[in-house]
Amino acid sequence: MINYVWFYHNLPLSITGHIAKFFTMTYSSTMATAYYFLYIYVSFLLMLPIWRKLVRAMTQELYLYLILLNLVFVGCIPVISMLIFKGTAEINYFLNPLLAVSEPTFYFLIGYWIEHVLPDSWITPRNLFKLGLAALLGSVIAAGMTYYHGIIAGGLTEAISERFYDSFLFLNTAFVFCFSKWWFSTHTISDAWRNRLIFLGSVSFGVMLFEEITRNLTHPIFGKMLAYLPRIPFIDAVIWICLAYALGIIITYFIKKIPYFNKLI
């Protein structure tokens, strides 16, 4: 509703027309983007009894096999397909192993594995260093393939830029998860930092809800930075997104001062 009011309040529709269009867009169009994680959470709750049975029955070997499937079908095959077919052919979706390629399903399962199955003794600085190198290599490959895709396509669109973002995303996610688990189990956090982390966690949902709006508001800054730093668009984009997130934090902070909204977001 927040996004709809912001972007579509000027449409020449009656109140009934606005209500009908809102529910239509929320259900069937990109208006649902801001609620992506909420929808995933609802669908996950519907499957919760099955997930509970599944994660408790899976062995360490099965979790590792699932990870291997993800790295092959989400990571390696798209890269190889792009190098061979130059974007003219893709693997048939029905061949993909569902539990390994579905982001919500895969990361819920792997999160349980890291938290409850993976031995804490494995999470050592040495292993974290190896995992970090693998994550860095995966990021370099994904960035290189994005650049290559842009060359053969004659330019980078948003869709092209997102084509390989998740190719080896598991490695980055696992590294952050394992590093955080190791850090907070081996270090004492001061009350000041504890409060900062709690605050950032408390505004994260609001930042997600307002993300499209804050990006829209800060986009003119991005346009101006492109004029001054045209050769480094990545730096411009990072600054733009950081400003959008900072604005989202500020908006959420003040909205949470309102008694009812304090619990809502």
**For residue 231, what is the DSSP state?**
T
Q: Quick one: angle between helices 169-186 and 103-112, nearest 10?
A: 30
Lowest mean pLDDT among 8-22, 131-145, 153-167: 8-22
> CB neighbours of 43 closer than 8 A, spacing ≥ 6?
104
CA dihedral 27, 31, 32, 35 (to 10 degrees): -140
The Cβ-side half-sphere exposure at 210, using a 13 Å CA radius, reads: 22
Q: Residue 155 has what pLDDT?
A: 80
Tens-place pLDDT, residues 144-192: 999 999 888 888 777 788 888 889 999 999 999 999 999 999 999 899 9
> pTM for this one?
0.79
